Structure 1
Amino acid sequence: MPIVEAHGLTKVFRRPEKEAGLAGALKHLISRRFTDTVAVDHLDLSIEEGEAVAYVGPNGAGKSTTVKLLSGILVPTAGEVRIDDLNPQRHRIAIAHRLGVLFGQRTQLWWDLPVGESLAVLRDIYGVDAATYRKRLDRFDQVLDLGEILPVVGRRLSLGQRMRADLAAALLHGPRIVYLDEPTIGLDLVVKDRVRDFLRTIRDEGTTLMLTSHDLADIEELCQRLVIIDAGRIIFDGDFVAVKDRFARERILHVMVERPVPMEVLRTTLPEAEVAAGKTPLHFSVRFDRFTMTAGQAVNALAELENLVDIRVDEPNIEDVIRRVYSGELVLDETTP
């Protein structure tokens, strides 16, 4: 049985239409008008236990609203959500012990308390025993350097420090399902790498992850499945590697040589590749399909020129694929192999 299920999930926000000023307010009292905005539109989603799912889309697509519906923060206008076969709106306490939620732009720390005291309050709320609490804090300290920020009052934390503390708060009670909304925002490169390693570890231990992020390195390193949402609807749901293999299969070699080589010679040497001149006569690029030719085969063919100076490889990037989907250049479908 899936651990997260949504069927026909819909959320409509109603906003009043009124003119500015007192006259507009009085007019609205007499004749009320509203505008309905559909944030999530009849969404169906199923996530198995232990899956790591990337949930991506342009700004305003409905990502954060979906997460709030799945965690019970918002009540759906229509449709149903089941978390571990429970309704999150009706079984809030039971669901709270199963879920960990991190919103990159929100905090669950108390602004006027030191981080250590905020975590202690959460320990008592979730009923985490002392030994488990210490063990988890030690583990978080190894990844997030928590020790240095435990005495710091919440309102004095930098963005990166707050994100580290909030990540610890979201995972403190050992949730089975973790929703991560921009989990590495504000973190430096070293801490990002450590956080990703830690999230991979808990994923491999069976924790279910649902990740929304504009940092696609988070997605590439953590997720096996890609779900793309636009205008409140899922437009693609499929295997992450399959999408990358189908639409991000191109590689580019950037080559520098000692002496200029005629384009005709290069194209004869690499007939299955597209060769283009570079910024100087000593530079050129080789574009090829990584399933038709390997980088090693391309380099071996170029080595016959005997005047290579430098070679740099541009790897396929899922970011380009998702950017093309957003812009309408590429249409993915659920039959993508």
Structure 2
Amino acid sequence: MAITLHVPKSPKSGRGASINPHPRFEREETVAFDDGWDLETDAARPRTTVTEEKAKTIITRNASPDIGFDRSINAYRGCEHGCVYCFARPTHAYMGLSPGLDFETRLFAKPDAAALLREELAAPSYRCRSIAIGTNTDPYQPVERERRITRSILEVLAATRHPVGIVTKSDLVLRDLDILAPMARDGLTKVGISVTTLNPLLARTMEPRAPTPKKRLDAVARLQEAGVPVSVLVAPIVPSINDHEIEAIVAAAAERGVETVNYVLLRLPHEVKDIVRDWLARHFPDRARRVMTVMQAMRGGKDYDATWGVRQRGEGPFAKLIAERMELAVKRHDLKIGSTRLRTDLFTPPRRQRPQLDLFD
């Protein structure tokens, strides 16, 4: 069922997506339609709302052979950073919401995350392996300043001496150095900072509400000084948009003392391809066609290939060229592609909550 709606001409200021594509699981579909009568003053800036979610579990498991972890935690759904290219956008469809503007304006927070984590770690069947934080949405997005859910999760992991890897674009991670630095001394934590570009104007276009590249690189240096292993992620690499910066980003990472870097090519699963196409048409009309042509050349003629081992690196001549450039840049600065391995032998399970049985202990 299609419903025709009036939509304003201009994109939403301060947001990554300019459209709200139909959630793929919903039966009713809305179709954007410009009736030509709107005024610029009609377009109100969308406000960010946060809904509390009562989750039943907090650790998510996966069996993907091309990523370095089998379990992760996401304290939030949606992300206000508004990175237009975010491969996690389609997950909002599971909430009946659009992966477009909804993903960056209609957030969900899990206030019971720390309590749930403590319960799951205390289970007799639990076996310790590194937990990844920030795999779907940024754990240090703006809402974390007030909610502090990520910090509460880290407090549980620190108390149980459980290994954790964090991926973020935010210098807010520095707030938790009092937890991360002691964990790092025991080989229990590492941080990946994503640096998409060194150009602040391009960053504002691609990642409108994320901290600037300078703040991220300053955070890299601070973490390194505190003894926390940091990897800089050149991600995502978008042909004809930021691929020319690969060597410069690796050099900037090396200057801050990192030992490892990594990279991921642009991924366009489900609705992301439509959001990125719209973004390219608005901001880079002269390059939009070339970007998609090269992307399809790396994905076997399709916008996206979800095959394990291919989805993050692509294939074909351009993908091979990117890989070779990364390898040369890394070699030039005596770095490695990869990340630090964490210890699992120090884990001490939390005490299970057994109020009745505790009377007999």
- TM-score range (shorter-chain normalised) is under 0.3
More strand by share: 1
Of structures 1 and 2, the larger Rg is shown by 1
TM-score (norm 1): 0.27
